[in-house]
Amino acid sequence: MDFWELLLIAVGLSMDAFAVSICKGLGTRKVKPRHALLAGLWFGGFQFLMPVIGYLLGARFEALIQSIDHWIAFVLLAAIGAGMICEAFKEADELNDDYGAKTMLLLAVATSIDALAVGVTFAFLQAKLLPSAGLIGVTTFLLSGAGIYIGAAFGTRFKAASEIAGGVILILIGLKILLEHLGVLAL
């Protein structure tokens, strides 16, 4: 997996956190730098942690499913992407300006579950764990911080588009992995 593919995965995975950050920014009466920092740390931190956990789980079971790993990667990425696209068409969640640990923990876990599945995929693809998880975490940190300000400035106008874009990116990357392993695309 090259840098640009990994960056696309990082951006795709960041879209849930970005969309939630836009909503948090919309619901915050007076946005301060600490709001952007908190969102970035919570979301970026969990987007870093979850692929690490997924990788460790995937590496443990790699020998059992190595012959079908490309199918698993495709199914996981396609399912995550499709879920993100479906989420874009749901009604907006209730907005609030609570940045407390309980609220942010729940949001961070909810927006990073897909990164756990991607971590499993990384194990099957034998990707370099720390640089991969680090890029996902940093990308999410930056986009989440920006999302707070975008939400405060523009409202929910970009929420659905960002979730759709993230979902399409993940589906296309999953399809590319499958087609490469099937020999349809050159490695």
The C-alpha atoms of residue 96 and residue 7 are separated, in whole angstroms, by 31
Q: What digits encode the pLDDT tens for the residues 147-162?
A: 999 988 876 667 677 7
- In the CATH scheme, what is the code of domain 3-181? 1.20.1250
**Whether the model pTM is above 0.85:** no
Q: What is the pLDDT of residue 93?
A: 55
Residue ranges per structural domain of the chain: 3-181
Which pLDDT score is estimated for 15?
87
CA pair distance 123, 80, nearest whole angstrom: 17
- In the prediction, which pLDDT does 66 show? 67
The Cα–Cα gap between 40 and 58 comes to: 27
- CB contact at 8 A, 144 and 18: yes
Kindly report, residue by residue over 34-68, the tens digit of the pLDDT: 999 999 999 999 999 999 999 998 888 767 776 77
Q: How far apart are CA 158 and CA 131, in angstroms?
A: 29
For the chain, state the CA radius of gyration. Answer: 16
Q: Residue 92: what pLDDT?
A: 59
